[in-house]
Structure 1
Amino acid sequence: MENLKFAVVDLETTGHSPEKGDRIIQIAIMFIEDGILTNEYVRFVNPGQKIPVFIQELTDITNTEVQNAPLFEEIAHEVRDLLEGWIFAAHNTNFDLTFLQKEFKRCGIPQWQGKQIDTVEFSKIMFPSAVSYRLKELTEELGIDLSAAHRADDDAKATAELLLKCIEKVKHLPEQTLSRLHKRSFYLKTDLSVIFYLALVEARKKTPSSNLSQFRGIPFRQTGIIHNLESRKLVYPTSQDEKDQLLIQAYPSYESRSAQLQFMDAAWNSLRTGIESMVEVPTGIGKTVSYLLPAAIRAIETQQAVIVSTYTNHLADKIMAEEIDVVSKALSVPVQATVLKGRSNYISLAKFAELLLSGESSYDNIFTEMQLLVWLTETRTGDVNELNLSGGGMLYIDRIRKSSSVLAEDELGVDYHQVALENCRHADIIITNHALLLSDGPSKEQIIEESCGLVVDEAHQFIHAAYKTNEIIFSYTNWKYVMGQISSEADGQVSRRIEEILVRKRLHRSRERSNLLTAYEKFSASFDVAIHELTGSESVKRGHVKGSRLHVALEDMKAERSVFETVFQSMNDFIGKAASYVKQLDLEVESLSDKEQAILAEWHYWIDELRVKIGEWVELFLDKESDGTVWIEQDQRSIPGSLTVIKSPIDSAPVIRKALKSLFVKEKGVIWTSGTLSVKSDERFVARQLGVAEEVPVLKLLAPEHFYTGAQIFLIDDMPNIQQVAQQEYVEEVAEAIVQTVMVTEGRLFVLFTSQDMLNQTHELISDSGLLEDYALIAQGISSGSKYRLLKSFRQYEKAVLFGTNSFWEGVDVPGNSLSAIIIVRLPFSSPSEPVFKAKTAQLNQSGKNAFTAYALPEAILRLRQGFGRLIRSSTDTGFFIILDRRIETKSYGKKFLEALPDVPVKKVSLARMVDELNNCYNK
């Protein structure tokens, strides 16, 4: 590969469109020969116009720096000649090369011709688990220096190093992986096939030395197996001094806290005696290690695992990565832990092998296969959540998720989910998530059967997980996607490929084919009629509108049941004919080639998907006896594409108790713990929703003394009353408050909303104003990426503001100076029209209870407490909690919110006064 020569280019410009007059202000080219950076060309360019202010701030390139620089017309030939004979590389060639070619054309010189490499495309393949593919974040993750992002010279140099890192990684891939990558690389957008070809040639000259396993010719890294450990004897420490000594071994700077030791004792007592307990644990006492220590001791003592459940897979991985070694250090013995997730979180190697054979041809599918081939050489878990994929890639992943416990002979011992389950048999701590514990299936039953107890962390979220896990969701776009996979007659689609196999095998029957197509037409037509019924009726049009989204309870519609019956019958008929269509192939499967078997397996996969969907259809539209509430959601701007129908239980407690029944029957200890398990006005609020018996007390521990001394609460008293003004007027005042606060705190600010619509309006208003151009405005639902990717971006920028909705009110940890203030836009009441909330409050009202005081108010108070918990994560943290909603001081229930917050100074002030006080604090 040493004979490849790369010219790595980066441009800084006045904007994105040369057709509209945008021009280059800096160009940098880094030349790579024989894998070494040999030369560089860096020039400022006079754009012949003023550089926009925001471009100056972004690039730190001023008008003064470019005023004596040449126009691009003066150096265009020079640049064109420099690039001749080199492979053009850039981080997004679609911008840099396209812009440059248009500038060459404008200057009347021939466009550049040659091969090109896009390091965005390349790095997505070679680093499929990277958090972000933006140059700044990617280079930081890979340890590449990029001190001045958005300067062409620094960006080009960083891109050159990134290119070399990608090439270096290619060189170490096994031959079988390189062969598959090379075959697929011809479908890519840039000329990466050159690199994969040369790497493959080199790999074939070497003696294979890979330590990877192979599955049907696919190299993969096998996950580690946990084995039983002998001769570990532990005794739970009974005295305070013994507990302190244990914790000092893990934390040399440890300071004894009575609340932490109390929690350890409560967890131990529950696990030892097999009782249920609830413990509210405030931030700052080391909650996780406090339950892991007694859990590990009990597990080693009984030789049975303790299950630890938390809300998300991310948090489960975090406990595994950050806490288990701490516990081992404290106990002076190795503690064995494993993470177990739901089966569908793992890749099925067999399904992947089938799809590789089946001949996928779309860019998204080919690209995702390449990412997976590289990822399998490095993943130790097989957890597909490690991957950072496009939307099209996620559709591919859905087809290769593990969905069955039945394994082929060659999958035994190598299937990632099976190995994870086997590791549970030998682990001391099994870390999982709420969704798995609330699901049905042998995985959950196995770990419960073989465990000696359960710790439920973030226990209040178990309620939300109970609703989500038991939801049934119909999505119009998803149904049409599945229907399209099996009905399309286009070349390369599974229907056409199955027909070709039948013809080759002389098994094709025109009548059966005609019957299949007729059955599909009837199914499709009846489905369209049902969709029209769901989207076009007057009752739907009169539904509640929230922003552009409309939702209405299914029971409020006057839909004809017969319409849904017809879909069920026609769908059943089509599935039967689709199965019958390939019956002869199923009987002669042994005579089929591997590729033909893969195509047949794909046909069966899509038929099985339809079988799942027919069950959902019955649950949603035809089963009148089941519990729960069903509602329709759609965006009025996109009908029927946005149509969603959701069914959810109304009560969480029965769902939870049923899911954990075997734990309670066998009297295994269960510890419910969270920072928010109670409300002063209703201490059993969370307990009731978890189904915890009245006789089980809620033990409430106190935060360390002086823990919240760095916090202040501001109530802004000159905001408009949210219930008396139009939303647009309120949004304008909110935007003003955010801007003024950001100017003083210099970012490091969360703004928490209860409505995505209000978040969008506020973010748009601030962005359009240009008042915070110097700041990274990261917005949930607008900025791309998951909650945790957005959070990582927030931490990376010194000047950042994060706009978040419901999921950012809790489970977010930003310790230290990274977060200086939180703005609460409005008190976090659930929307009265939110379907489950509406059904729940109706149920309470019917039983003679006041739904507001029994449910709406305590739920909102808990959420506000959770929001405050994001601010102070350690006793050295400082921060300001700013509430803009005046109802906290104008309504009688407002004091209940304040009583629920920690005892910190509360100041009722005008916005201007608050800004002055913040200014004084920062000046000090």
Structure 2
Amino acid sequence: MMESREYAIVDIETTGHSQANGDRMIQIAIVLMKDWCITKTFTSFIQPGKPIPLFIQDLTNITDADVQDALPFEDYAETIYELLQDAIFVAHNTDFDLSFLQGEFKRVGMPVWKGKKIDTVELAKILFPSALSYKLGDLAAELNIPLDNAHRADDDALACALLLKRCWEELLKLPLETLEIMHKKSFRLKTNIAHLLFDALQIKRNSVSNDQSVVYYNKLALKKSHASKRTVQDQIAYPVASSDKIAMFKKAIPGFEERPKQFEMMDTIWEHLNQKTEVLIEASTGIGKTIGYLTPSIIYAKQKNRKVCISTYTTHLLEQLLLNEIPKVEEMIGRPIKVALLKGKKNYIDVVLFEQILKNQELSYDETLIVLQVLVWLSKTETGDLSELNSSGGGQLFIDKIRKNGEYTGENHPFDFYDKAIRESEEADLIITNHSMLLADLARHEPIFEKIDGLIIDEAHQFIQAAVQQNQAVFTFTNWKYIFGRIGMASDEELFATFQKIALKKHRVPLSYFHQLEKIFNQLTGLFDQTMQMIVQQMKQISAQSKANSKRTVFLQEIALNHDLIVDFSKAMQNWIDLAEQMSSQFKKDIEQIAPQHLLIVEQWDYWIRQFKVKVNEWDEIFLNVREDYTTWVEIDVRNVPGSIRILKKPIRIKTAIEQLLQPFREQAAVIWTSGTLSVPNNERFVANQLGIPAQVPMEMLQAPKEYYQGAKAFIVNDMPDIQGVSQTDYVESVALAITQVVRATKGRCFVLFTSQEMLRKTVELIQESELLFDYMLFAQGITNGSRMRLLKSFQKFSQSVLFGTNSFWEGVDVPGEGLSTVVVVRLPFSAPEEPTFKAKSALLQQQGINAFTELSLPEAILRFKQGFGRLIRSSQDKGVFVVLDRRIETKSYGVEFLRALPQISVHKLPLQDMVLEIEHWYNSKEEERKQVDENEK
């Protein structure tokens, strides 16, 4: 039994990572644990026989003075070896600690230690699948495990021991069925976690417990949900007078300062909700836009017993509304608000599909790890929203396989999280959703949005991008091959063979049908491969000149496709679907009761038929449905063909699509568009026109008073090299130098915004290699694991941190107060001229005699630039510097347009070194001010 096992929890500190290069241990700690109690601890400094590097001293707080009287490793080796004997070796990253220790044993002539090991990184990933980070310090903070001195072996080993115990306690809370599946799947893990699962299983099997908190889909345990009804209470009056608004706000917001423009926004929204009319509101940062639209919406919904829907662009904004803003309004009005969060179905797990994939015994290591994470998470999640999972690498690919795809059925499945979210929305005062979900449901005419009196579209400028994504088609070679592979043929051990076996055994479907279906399957896979080969050959010929880059992009109309081949494939797909459906009905005909295991196979068969239907529509849309307002292009990487083939079809204009979608809505409800950026200098209705909003719809522009931005300064570095005049390497070096100097001057808390992922990567790599910011936490989009929101949360947790981001970090992320003190703009955010959609839009404008630069490229870049500045000042107390490294803002005639788009703040044009001195002076004076405030408060 588990209780008799002994664990040796080990942590070591070293002079570096490479024993081969002479790195040595400087401290070791071992905590022995039996029956989940600490029985013994051993800790000692160790003489490395060489100076400790400065960055290691900074990291560990272990100096040369600490180890000067310590003995070398050989003097402790036998004691350490003895402590590890007969114990299970545990460390937070066994790959490092155990390997280093084994190397040291070998170096001093001792035998290699043999035994079982458990890695608490691997274990914590499984048992805390939604943790923000799996670093020991972060886990300790999240789980309230004491860890005063991180990177000291004694404190780390103790924290690791307590983490192991917490993991064990967490295991015992899991449903028995979950543990059974986990145990079966756990043998692919890197460390001996299977033993721990086995021990937990023994205990669970011997304890009688009827777990009421879970429901089951087959053997999968899911957390039971409790639906709550909408409460109808006494009426709430809308606060018409300013004094009433102030009184209401003061209930929830201590030290509330009146913002007249916020009150103006509230009144405008209240009026349009009641009149069921349409309006555009540009509300700059500092207005209090979110509370400005939430308050009238909620009062209206409560008064009329109707629903209001709020749509935003990013998941982060959804979270902010739910966690921060709605609780404030609840306090203000003194009543609970019934809120339903609706996201697009692909955000939710498809439990049926996940359960099917579980039956596949062959999982890679990454897949095994994520499967175990998902099993634990399903027993805890209320929402089934996959963004709750912290997965990385191969795990992310697996998550994409288990996303919900099928249509909304309306059937009441307790394990269908998308259905559950839909049902909850029927009882809500407020539905919160994102643009893509809203667009999808309006397009499908879902009944969800029929009972809505008001639609508030926040981040309205992003509705354009969402509409493009909603109407696009994406073809990937790997996805098609994956689907073919899931069906397989009679000789494979896939679904076709399994279905054939039971159908013939039960005499339900004639063998001739299977022969016929297999023949069609062979035909269609052959036609598919021919088409792909044709695309690859043509692309290589067309783009043969671009040898420098392995990635090629070609518009589909430039490729001479064999139309008959395309049509033949489409017909073969349809023939397969028709026959497969016939076989399914044949199997199910006249059967009173199908055995559960057979029913499961038929369900899987029907599921993949539905997937084939989706695929044939995708094929026809991309290859056969030619539309003027769309552009289609093919991307390949010549190092991996045909595996890398992607084909994208995107709309160039979405005005008509949006008009059609919103028309029925406009007839019955208020439509309110709002954003911090709806206009650009010289073109107030730039966004409105792209959205197809009629000219008679009024637009209100609400700007925070000048004093709101008094803590902001803008700097333009005027001695940066011209990117056209130097090599890319030299340019990246200049950018890296400027960034490191700005970061050091402001002590971190810095966003660095790029327009190119490649330049971001090269800059970050150079900064890491130079170690100029070794004492800062660097988070980089596309390099650091995790979603955009996870990066942001990690960035906010550390005082000395820098976040490097591309397009999606220019907007929609909110870091209030001291959390962010600097925004560095590396390049003005123009769209890349070679980006296919932009290229197609530009060509269309030029055909109409319109200047694509002034009417499209420039306004889009200015909007992004405004958004980038908007990250910096989120309250009137905020102080921050906005640094532009792109010289074009000063040397090109259009530069002035970018500066005009900023609020009225001081703009300084200086060489880099002068700017750094100015920023240091500003930062130091800010520190003094803060200290003064602290003193006064004392």
In the alignment, is the contact (CA less than 8 A) between 1:30 and 1:41 conserved in 2?
yes
Residues 1:313 and 2:315 aligned together: yes
Query: 1:379 maps to what in 2?
Result: 381
Q: Which moved more, 1:681-690 or 1:832-841?
A: 832-841
Q: CA deviation at 1:637?
A: 4.2
Deviates more, 1:622-631 or 1:753-762: 622-631
- Per-residue displacement from partner, 1:269-295 (whole Å, max 9, x unpaired)? 111101111111111232111111110
Aligned match of 1:235: 237
- What is the Cα-based RMSD across aligned positions, in Å? 2.8
Corresponding position of 2:326: 324
Q: What residue number does 2:870 align with?
A: 869
Q: Which moved more, 1:843-852 or 1:423-432?
A: 843-852
Q: Which amino acid aligns with 1:431?
A: I
In the alignment, structure 1 segments of 5+ residues that lack a partner are none
Q: 1:604 and 1:73 mapped to 2: Cα distance?
A: 66
Structure 1 residues 599 and 658: alpha-carbon distance in aligned structure 2, compared to 1, 3 A threshold = same
Quick one: which amino acid aligns to residue 845 of structure 2?
Answer: L
Contact 1:545 1:551 in 2 (8 A): no
* Alpha-carbon contact 2:370-2:398 (below 8 Å) kept: yes
Q: How many angstroms does 1:908 deviate by? A: 1.0
Residue aligning to 1:609: 611
Partner in structure 1 of residue 910 of structure 2? 909
Once the two structures are overlaid, the 10-residue window that deviates more, 50-59 or 777-786, is 50-59
Question: CA deviation digits over 1:286-307, x for unaligned, max 9?
Answer: 2111111110111112211100
The answer to whether the 8 Å contact 1:344/1:402 transfers is: yes
Is 1:276 the counterpart of 2:243? The answer is: no
Alignment match, 1:719:
720
1:620 partner amino acid:
I
The alpha carbon displacement at 1:173 in A equals 2.5
Aligned counterparts of 2:727 and 2:401: Cα–Cα separation in 1: 46
DSSP 3-state at the match of 1:843: helix
Equivalent-residue separation in structure 2 for 1:500 and 1:112 (angstroms): 50
1:453 deviates by: 0.6
Q: Distance in 2 between matches of 1:473 and 1:526?
A: 20
Report the Cα distance in structure 1 between the residues aligned to 2:443 and 2:212, rounded to whole angstroms.
Answer: 33
Are 2:629 and 1:630 equivalent residues in the alignment? no
Q: 1:224 aligns with which of 223, 226, 230?
A: 226
Say if 1:16 and 1:578 are closer, same or farther in 2 by CA, change over 3 A.
Answer: farther
Structure 1 counterpart SS, 2:687: helix
What is the alpha-carbon distance in structure 1 between the residues aligned to residue 610 and residue 394 of structure 2? Answer: 21
The residue that corresponds to 2:786 in the other structure is 785
C-alpha contact (below 8 Å) 2:720/2:886 kept by paired residues: yes
1:185 aligned residue? 186
Output aligned runs, 1:453-464, within 5 Å: 453-464=454-465
In the alignment, is the contact (CA less than 8 A) between 1:544 and 1:833 conserved in 2?
no
C-alpha separation in 1, matches of 2:921 and 2:74? 53
Asked whether 1:262 is paired with 2:245, we answer no
Q: In the alignment, what sits opposite 1:840?
A: 841
Instruction: Measure the CA separation in 2 of the matches of 1:26 and 1:578.
Output: 66
- Matching residue within 273, 293, 296 for 2:295: 293
1:174 aligns with 2:162: no
Shift of 1:687: 0.5
- The code of the aligned residue for 1:557 comes to I
Structure 2 vs 1, CA of residues 203 and 921 (structure 1 numbering), >3 Å: closer, same or farther?
same
Q: 1:419: which partner in 2?
A: 420
- What is the alpha-carbon distance in structure 2 between the residues aligned to residue 390 and residue 919 of structure 1? 38
Q: Which amino acid aligns with 1:42?
A: T
Q: Any idea what SS the aligned residue of 1:788 has?
A: helix
Whether contact under 8 Å (1:544, 1:552) holds in the other structure is no
CA contact (8 A) 1:267 1:671 kept: yes
SS across alignment from 2:869: helix
- Secondary structure of residue in 1 paired with 2:725: coil
**1:808 aligned residue:** 809
- Residue 447 of structure 2 corresponds to residue 446 of structure 1: yes
The CA distance in 2 between the partners of 1:380 and 1:770, in whole Å, is 43
Deviation at 1:509, TM superposition (A): 7.5
Is 2:76 the counterpart of 1:69? no
Secondary structure in structure 2 of the residue aligned to 1:253: coil
Q: TM-score, normalised by structure 2?
A: 0.92
The 8 Å contact of residues 534 and 540 in structure 1, kept in 2 or not, is answered as no
What is the distance in 1 between the residues matched to 2:815 and 2:613? 45
1:857 Cα deviation after fit: 0.9
Tell me what 1:653 maps to: 655
Alpha-carbon deviations, 1:650-674, whole Å to 9, x = none? 11222222232321132x1111111
User: For 2:245, what is the secondary structure of its paired residue?
Assistant: helix
* Aligned-residue offset at 1:757: 1.3
Alpha carbons 1:439, 1:659 under 8 Å: kept: no
Rounded Cα–Cα distance in structure 1 between residues aligned with 2:96 and 2:496: 39
Query: Residue in 1 aligned with 2:934?
Result: none
Equivalent position amino acid for 2:655 in 1:
A
CA distance in 2, matches of 1:831, 1:590: 62
Q: Return the alpha-carbon distance in structure 2 between the equivalents of residues 400 and 80 of structure 1.
A: 46
Deviation at 1:506, TM superposition (A): 6.6
- Tell me which residue corresponds to 1:529: 530
CA 1:712 to 1:23, structure 2 compared with 1: closer, same or farther past 3 Å? Answer: same
Post-superposition offset of 1:134: 2.4
Give SS of 2:708's match: coil
Structure 1 counterpart of 2:720, one-letter code: M
> Are residue 761 (structure 1) and residue 747 (structure 2) matched?
no
User: Which deviates more, 424-433 or 146-155?
Assistant: 146-155
Count residues with an aligned counterpart.
922
Q: Say if 1:770 and 1:547 are closer, same or farther in 2 by CA, change over 3 A.
A: farther
Change (3 A) 1:116 1:593: farther
| More displaced 10-residue stretch of structure 1: 127-136 or 830-839 | 127-136
Q: Relative to structure 1, is the Cα distance of residues 635 and 47 closer, same or farther in structure 2, using a 3 angstrom cutoff?
A: farther
How far residue 502 of structure 1 moved from its aligned partner, in angstroms, is: 5.1
| Structure 2: gaps of 5 or more residues | 926-938
Question: What CA distance in whole angstroms lies between the structure 2 residues aligned with 1:857 and 1:100?
Answer: 59
The aligned counterpart of 2:10 is: 9
1:553 aligns with 2:559: no
Secondary structure in 1 matching 2:709: coil
Q: Tell me the CA shift for residue 355 of structure 1.
A: 4.7
Q: Deviation digits for residues 365-384 of structure 1, max 9, x if unmatched?
A: 54444323322222122222
Instruction: Check 1:316–1:547 CA distance in 2 against 1; reply closer, same or farther (3 A cut).
Output: farther
Following superposition, the deviation at residue 585 of structure 1 comes to 4.4
Query: What is the deviation of 1:516?
Result: 5.0
Structure 1 residues 355 and 782: CA distance shift in structure 2, 3 A: closer
1:88 to 1:519, Cα distance in 2 relative to 1, 3 A? same
> Using the alignment, how far apart are the partners of 1:298 and 1:665 within structure 2?
18
Whether the 8 Å contact between 2:442 and 2:449 is mirrored in structure 1 is: no
Q: Against the structure 1 CA distance between its residues 453 and 540, is the aligned structure 2 distance closer, same or farther, given a 3 Å change threshold?
A: farther
1:758 partner letter:
M
CA drift at 1:507: 7.2
Which deviates the most, 520-529 or 237-246?
520-529
Distance 2:309 2:698 in 1: 22
Shift of 1:802: 1.4
**Is the CA contact (8 Å cut-off) linking 1:748 and 1:801 kept in structure 2?**
yes
Letter in 1 for 2:704: A
CA distance in 1, matches of 2:522, 2:643: 20
Q: Is 2:344 the counterpart of 1:342?
A: yes
CA distance in 1, matches of 2:275, 2:806: 41
| Structure 2 counterpart of 1:687 | 688
For 1:13-28, what aligned pairs fall within 5 Å after superposition? 13-19=14-20, 21-28=22-29
Q: Structure 1 length as normaliser, TM-score?
A: 0.93
CA deviation vs aligned residue, 1:747-771 (integer Å, no higher than 9, x gap): 2221111111111121122222222
Q: Bigger shift: 675-684 or 368-377? A: 368-377
Conserved in 2, the CA contact under 8 Å of 1:547 and 1:757?
A: no
Tell me, yes or no, if the aligned pair for 2:316 and 2:813 is still in contact at 8 Å.
Answer: no
Q: 2: CA distance between counterparts of 1:207 and 1:67?
A: 57
Q: Report SS of the residue matched to 2:696.
A: coil
Q: Is the 8 A contact 1:355 1:598 kept in 2?
A: no
- Measure how far apart 1:205 and its partner are: 4.1
Q: What is the CA–CA distance in structure 2 between the aligned matches of 1:662 and 1:711, rounded to whole Å?
A: 44
One-letter amino acid matched to 2:127: M
